[in-house]
Structure 1
Amino acid sequence: MEVVVSPTAEVIAVRLSPRWRGSVDPRALNASVLSAANAATMRALARSLEHTDLSASAPAPPHNGGDESPLTNQDVQRLLDSASAELDQFTTRLSAVVDQPVQVRSSGGHVQGSAQRGQVLTLDVDSTWAGQIRHSEIEMEFVEVLRGLRDASTPGELAAGPGDGAISELMALAADPRRLMRRLGMPVGTGTAGES
């Protein structure tokens, strides 16, 4: 038995030997597929981490152009309050996805499972059905459930972080300290240390 996943740990296929019943009791099929799915996912994630080039994440380039209007204390406070509200809203949305266990049932109704934070917790299969049906139909229902569990229990586009708004504006200001100082009305030196 084998669970095939993409480099991003998306389930591509579940492969049962045509003679799987000779080595696995239909009542234990769910445990075998669960073990194979989690092992395949962990291998894909480990390979992904090995190939991640940590030096590729360069800091954002300084902001050139854009709003250069002065920031008052009230402007800064409004910006911080807005960023805090955006972060709270984002955290609530993210928590609703990753902190709650999800359940998925196949359209045929013979396989179901649960997952949380992208990890499959349980898989259940109707062992009477699995003992009688073609292995290709069993594979299809397992793939459907495993894909559904991954989609429902991972952050998806939320993984990119909060979108545009006050947080983005703060990040842009932090990436360009000279611009931030100008907007706050602070002097920005042009010489090097020690020059008069």
Structure 2
Amino acid sequence: MAHIRERSLRHPFPELNGHGLRLRPWDADDDRDVRNWLRGVSDPEFQRWNTPLRPITGIAGARDSLRSRAENAEDGISASFRVTDAADGRTLGHIGINEIDHIMRVARVGYWTLPEARGHRVVIRALTLAAHWALTDLGLHRLELGHALGHEASCHIAERCGFPAEGTCRGAMFEEGRRDAFRDVHLHGRLATDPEVKV
């Protein structure tokens, strides 16, 4: 699978354009990118549904987090995109193809939007664009999308983007703000052989 990594992640991965969006790599040396990353992962709605392994509490931590993601991209195990408006370049959110397994050709999807970008179908458009790339150019066979049970917005987004529900994984993610308790995850999946999704 080395040819897949070389072809698709060499820059370390391409910009994606479509559906009124431009998806480009985050830049740990760009102060605006760092501030927007910190805003996204500090947002109460993000923290309600996600408990990162390493909390990000300031600019230095946000910069380190983006550098770590860039290293993972160079290693071919993740692709983290800054979601921007194609017309004016405003940062709208993030979408990542994570935990890429080039042997089994599977990866996990994660995303968030900044508060001011919500209600404009940003995630639906970004997920459709990123999933198409991952299941074609990147050569993956399967994408998995998991969200905390009860997160109805993520459930709707997954279904709308061609990720049908596949079941519930018991105790598969941390409870909100804790690392000593777990909650269930609703699992969705999409295959390269599934029908195309129209946005």
Smaller-chain TM-score bracket: under 0.3
Instruction: Specify the structure having the higher radius of gyration (Cα).
Output: 1
Structure with more of its chain in helix, by fraction: 1
